[in-house]
Amino acid sequence: MESRNRFGFFSNVPPVTKNLIIINILCWLASIVLPRTVGFDVIGWLGLHFPGASDFRLFQLVTYMFLHDSHSFEHIFFNMFAVFMFGRLLEQVWGSKRFLLFYVVTGIGAAIVQEVTWWFMIHSLAEANHITIAQQIAMDPGINQLITIGASGAVFGILLAFGMLFPNAPLFLMFIPIPIKAKYMVIGYGLIELFMGVVNFSGDNVAHFAHLGGMLFGFFMIIYWKKKDRKHGEYLY
Protein backbone atom coordinates (compact mmCIF):
# COMPACT_ATOMS: atom_id res chain seq x y z
CA MET A 1 0.00 0.00 0.00
CA GLU A 2 2.78 2.40 0.87
CA SER A 3 4.56 1.70 -2.43
CA ARG A 4 1.44 2.42 -4.49
CA ASN A 5 0.83 5.73 -2.73
CA ARG A 6 4.38 6.81 -3.42
CA PHE A 7 3.72 6.77 -7.17
CA GLY A 8 0.05 7.65 -6.96
CA PHE A 9 0.45 11.26 -8.06
CA PHE A 10 2.10 10.49 -11.39
CA SER A 11 -0.12 7.47 -11.97
CA ASN A 12 -3.16 9.78 -12.04
CA VAL A 13 -1.77 11.68 -15.04
CA PRO A 14 -3.55 10.57 -18.26
CA PRO A 15 -1.45 8.22 -20.44
CA VAL A 16 -0.72 10.48 -23.41
CA THR A 17 0.25 13.45 -21.23
CA LYS A 18 2.46 11.24 -19.10
CA ASN A 19 4.16 9.57 -22.07
CA LEU A 20 4.72 12.87 -23.88
CA ILE A 21 6.53 14.20 -20.82
CA ILE A 22 8.60 11.02 -20.50
CA ILE A 23 9.53 10.98 -24.21
CA ASN A 24 10.55 14.65 -24.14
CA ILE A 25 12.73 14.09 -21.07
CA LEU A 26 14.38 11.02 -22.61
CA CYS A 27 15.07 12.90 -25.85
CA TRP A 28 16.53 15.81 -23.89
CA LEU A 29 18.84 13.45 -21.99
CA ALA A 30 19.82 11.75 -25.26
CA SER A 31 20.74 15.12 -26.78
CA ILE A 32 23.14 15.63 -23.86
CA VAL A 33 24.62 12.14 -23.60
CA LEU A 34 24.86 10.81 -27.18
CA PRO A 35 27.03 13.60 -28.66
CA ARG A 36 29.55 13.09 -25.85
CA THR A 37 29.56 9.29 -25.87
CA VAL A 38 29.08 8.16 -29.47
CA GLY A 39 29.38 11.46 -31.35
CA PHE A 40 25.78 11.43 -32.58
CA ASP A 41 24.41 14.96 -33.01
CA VAL A 42 20.78 14.43 -31.97
CA ILE A 43 19.70 18.04 -32.49
CA GLY A 44 21.57 18.37 -35.78
CA TRP A 45 19.90 15.23 -37.14
CA LEU A 46 16.40 15.49 -35.67
CA GLY A 47 15.99 19.27 -35.28
CA LEU A 48 13.98 21.17 -37.88
CA HIS A 49 16.00 22.54 -40.82
CA PHE A 50 15.00 24.66 -43.78
CA PRO A 51 13.82 22.42 -46.68
CA GLY A 52 16.53 23.69 -49.01
CA ALA A 53 19.32 22.94 -46.53
CA SER A 54 21.48 19.84 -46.96
CA ASP A 55 20.57 18.48 -43.52
CA PHE A 56 16.80 18.75 -43.97
CA ARG A 57 14.78 15.55 -43.59
CA LEU A 58 11.00 15.30 -43.83
CA PHE A 59 10.70 13.48 -40.50
CA GLN A 60 12.12 16.57 -38.77
CA LEU A 61 8.64 18.13 -38.99
CA VAL A 62 7.73 15.69 -36.21
CA THR A 63 10.95 14.90 -34.38
CA TYR A 64 11.90 18.52 -33.69
CA MET A 65 9.03 18.94 -31.23
CA PHE A 66 10.49 16.30 -28.90
CA LEU A 67 13.85 18.04 -28.58
CA HIS A 68 14.92 20.88 -26.31
CA ASP A 69 18.01 22.99 -25.71
CA SER A 70 20.61 20.64 -24.24
CA HIS A 71 22.25 23.60 -22.50
CA SER A 72 19.07 24.79 -20.77
CA PHE A 73 16.96 22.99 -18.21
CA GLU A 74 14.44 25.83 -18.22
CA HIS A 75 13.48 25.20 -21.86
CA ILE A 76 12.21 21.67 -21.26
CA PHE A 77 10.97 22.35 -17.74
CA PHE A 78 8.53 25.12 -18.63
CA ASN A 79 7.26 23.33 -21.74
CA MET A 80 6.64 20.08 -19.88
CA PHE A 81 5.14 21.94 -16.93
CA ALA A 82 2.60 23.48 -19.32
CA VAL A 83 1.87 20.05 -20.84
CA PHE A 84 1.30 18.68 -17.35
CA MET A 85 -0.84 21.57 -16.11
CA PHE A 86 -3.06 22.04 -19.16
CA GLY A 87 -2.55 18.98 -21.33
CA ARG A 88 -3.90 16.53 -18.76
CA LEU A 89 -7.13 18.52 -18.48
CA LEU A 90 -7.59 18.54 -22.24
CA GLU A 91 -6.91 14.81 -22.40
CA GLN A 92 -9.53 14.19 -19.72
CA VAL A 93 -12.10 16.17 -21.73
CA TRP A 94 -11.19 15.02 -25.24
CA GLY A 95 -9.83 11.57 -24.61
CA SER A 96 -6.33 10.33 -25.34
CA LYS A 97 -6.68 9.81 -29.10
CA ARG A 98 -7.97 13.31 -29.83
CA PHE A 99 -5.48 14.97 -27.51
CA LEU A 100 -2.52 13.18 -29.11
CA LEU A 101 -3.75 14.14 -32.57
CA PHE A 102 -4.11 17.76 -31.46
CA TYR A 103 -0.61 17.81 -29.97
CA VAL A 104 1.05 16.36 -33.07
CA VAL A 105 -0.90 18.46 -35.59
CA THR A 106 -0.26 21.74 -33.76
CA GLY A 107 3.41 20.82 -33.50
CA ILE A 108 3.61 20.11 -37.23
CA GLY A 109 1.62 23.27 -37.93
CA ALA A 110 4.13 25.28 -35.94
CA ALA A 111 6.94 23.70 -37.98
CA ILE A 112 5.24 24.63 -41.26
CA VAL A 113 4.82 28.25 -40.17
CA GLN A 114 8.47 28.33 -39.10
CA GLU A 115 9.51 27.04 -42.54
CA VAL A 116 7.44 29.77 -44.20
CA THR A 117 9.06 32.37 -41.92
CA TRP A 118 12.49 31.15 -42.92
CA TRP A 119 11.50 31.23 -46.59
CA PHE A 120 10.56 34.92 -46.36
CA MET A 121 13.82 35.68 -44.58
CA ILE A 122 15.94 33.87 -47.19
CA HIS A 123 13.88 35.36 -50.01
CA SER A 124 14.67 38.85 -48.69
CA LEU A 125 18.39 38.03 -48.57
CA ALA A 126 18.27 36.67 -52.12
CA GLU A 127 16.51 39.78 -53.38
CA ALA A 128 19.06 42.02 -51.69
CA ASN A 129 21.85 40.06 -53.40
CA HIS A 130 19.94 39.98 -56.73
CA ILE A 131 20.06 36.19 -56.89
CA THR A 132 17.57 33.34 -56.64
CA ILE A 133 16.68 31.55 -53.40
CA ALA A 134 18.45 28.42 -54.67
CA GLN A 135 21.62 30.45 -55.27
CA GLN A 136 21.33 32.05 -51.83
CA ILE A 137 21.08 28.64 -50.21
CA ALA A 138 24.04 27.33 -52.20
CA MET A 139 26.30 30.26 -51.31
CA ASP A 140 25.25 30.65 -47.67
CA PRO A 141 26.31 27.71 -45.41
CA GLY A 142 24.65 29.47 -42.48
CA ILE A 143 21.24 28.46 -43.81
CA ASN A 144 22.02 24.87 -42.89
CA GLN A 145 22.58 26.08 -39.32
CA LEU A 146 19.01 27.31 -39.02
CA ILE A 147 17.52 24.82 -36.57
CA THR A 148 14.32 24.94 -34.56
CA ILE A 149 13.62 22.59 -31.65
CA GLY A 150 11.11 22.41 -28.83
CA ALA A 151 7.53 21.55 -27.97
CA SER A 152 6.53 25.22 -27.72
CA GLY A 153 4.38 25.16 -30.86
CA ALA A 154 2.29 22.31 -29.48
CA VAL A 155 2.31 23.93 -26.02
CA PHE A 156 0.89 27.18 -27.42
CA GLY A 157 -1.76 25.08 -29.15
CA ILE A 158 -2.58 23.54 -25.77
CA LEU A 159 -2.79 26.97 -24.14
CA LEU A 160 -5.16 28.15 -26.85
CA ALA A 161 -7.33 25.05 -26.44
CA PHE A 162 -7.50 25.53 -22.69
CA GLY A 163 -8.50 29.17 -23.16
CA MET A 164 -11.26 28.16 -25.60
CA LEU A 165 -12.60 25.28 -23.50
CA PHE A 166 -12.26 27.00 -20.12
CA PRO A 167 -12.32 30.73 -21.00
CA ASN A 168 -13.16 31.95 -17.49
CA ALA A 169 -10.79 29.68 -15.56
CA PRO A 170 -8.55 31.84 -13.33
CA LEU A 171 -4.82 31.63 -14.05
CA PHE A 172 -1.92 33.19 -12.20
CA LEU A 173 1.29 34.54 -13.68
CA MET A 174 4.45 33.84 -11.73
CA PHE A 175 5.05 36.47 -9.02
CA ILE A 176 1.72 38.20 -9.82
CA PRO A 177 -0.95 37.14 -7.28
CA ILE A 178 -3.83 38.43 -9.38
CA PRO A 179 -6.07 35.94 -11.24
CA ILE A 180 -6.40 36.42 -14.99
CA LYS A 181 -9.10 34.69 -16.99
CA ALA A 182 -7.71 32.06 -19.34
CA LYS A 183 -9.18 33.73 -22.44
CA TYR A 184 -7.38 36.99 -21.69
CA MET A 185 -4.15 35.16 -20.90
CA VAL A 186 -4.27 33.38 -24.28
CA ILE A 187 -5.03 36.60 -26.17
CA GLY A 188 -2.18 38.33 -24.35
CA TYR A 189 0.27 35.56 -25.19
CA GLY A 190 -0.79 35.66 -28.83
CA LEU A 191 -0.34 39.42 -29.11
CA ILE A 192 3.06 39.28 -27.42
CA GLU A 193 4.26 36.55 -29.79
CA LEU A 194 3.00 38.51 -32.80
CA PHE A 195 4.73 41.67 -31.60
CA MET A 196 7.98 39.88 -30.83
CA GLY A 197 7.93 38.09 -34.18
CA VAL A 198 7.33 41.25 -36.20
CA VAL A 199 9.83 43.39 -34.30
CA ASN A 200 12.39 40.53 -34.23
CA PHE A 201 14.52 41.87 -31.41
CA SER A 202 18.26 41.61 -31.86
CA GLY A 203 19.63 38.44 -30.31
CA ASP A 204 16.18 36.90 -29.99
CA ASN A 205 16.39 33.30 -31.19
CA VAL A 206 12.84 32.35 -30.17
CA ALA A 207 10.57 31.03 -32.95
CA HIS A 208 7.68 33.41 -32.23
CA PHE A 209 5.84 32.75 -35.50
CA ALA A 210 6.07 29.01 -34.86
CA HIS A 211 4.27 29.59 -31.56
CA LEU A 212 1.56 31.48 -33.42
CA GLY A 213 1.44 28.64 -35.94
CA GLY A 214 0.67 26.17 -33.16
CA MET A 215 -2.14 28.42 -31.95
CA LEU A 216 -3.48 28.93 -35.48
CA PHE A 217 -3.61 25.23 -36.34
CA GLY A 218 -5.09 24.51 -32.91
CA PHE A 219 -7.81 27.10 -33.45
CA PHE A 220 -8.92 25.57 -36.75
CA MET A 221 -8.88 22.06 -35.28
CA ILE A 222 -11.08 23.10 -32.37
CA ILE A 223 -13.54 24.91 -34.65
CA TYR A 224 -13.74 21.82 -36.87
CA TRP A 225 -14.25 19.48 -33.91
CA LYS A 226 -16.81 21.83 -32.40
CA LYS A 227 -18.97 21.73 -35.53
CA LYS A 228 -18.47 17.99 -35.94
CA ASP A 229 -19.38 17.20 -32.33
CA ARG A 230 -22.49 19.37 -32.34
CA LYS A 231 -23.62 17.65 -35.52
CA HIS A 232 -23.46 14.35 -33.63
CA GLY A 233 -25.19 15.76 -30.54
CA GLU A 234 -22.07 16.19 -28.41
CA TYR A 235 -21.51 19.44 -26.53
CA LEU A 236 -18.07 19.56 -24.97
CA TYR A 237 -17.34 23.24 -25.64
Residue 56 has pLDDT above 80, yes or no: yes
Residue 195 has pLDDT above 70, yes or no: no
Residue 201 has pLDDT above 80, yes or no: no
Q: Which pLDDT band holds residue 232 (cuts at 50, 70, 90)?
A: low
Give DSSP secondary structure letters for the chain.
Answer: -HHHHHTHHHHTS-HHHHHHHHHHHHHHHHHHHHHHHT---HHHHHSB--TTSTT--TTHHHHGGG---TT-HHHHHHHHHHIIIIIHHHHHHH-HHHHHHHHHHHHHHHHHHHHHHHHHHHHHHHHHTTS-HHHHHHH-GGGGG--B--SHHHHHHHHHHHHHHSTT-EEEETTEEEEEEHHHHHHHHHHHHHHHHHH--TT----HHHHHHHHHHHHHHHHHHHHHHHHTT----
Q: What is the pLDDT of residues 90-110, one digit of tens each?
A: 999 999 999 999 999 999 999
Q: Span 154-159, mean pLDDT? A: 93
% of the chain surpassing 90 pLDDT: 60
171 - beta bridge partners? 180
Give the predicted TM-score (pTM) of the model. 0.87
d(CA 173, CA 189): 12
Residue 114 has pLDDT above 50, yes or no: yes
First to last CA, the chain: 39
Q: Which of 228, 223, 213, 230 is nearest to 112 (CA)?
A: 213
The pLDDT, as a whole number, for residue 199 is: 57
The pLDDT, as a whole number, for residue 191 is: 75
The total number of residues written for the chain in this structure: 237
d(CA 141, CA 186): 38
Q: Span 137-148, mean pLDDT? A: 91
Q: What is the pLDDT of residues 5-22, one digit of tens each?
A: 445 556 689 999 999 999
The pLDDT, as a whole number, for residue 170 is: 78
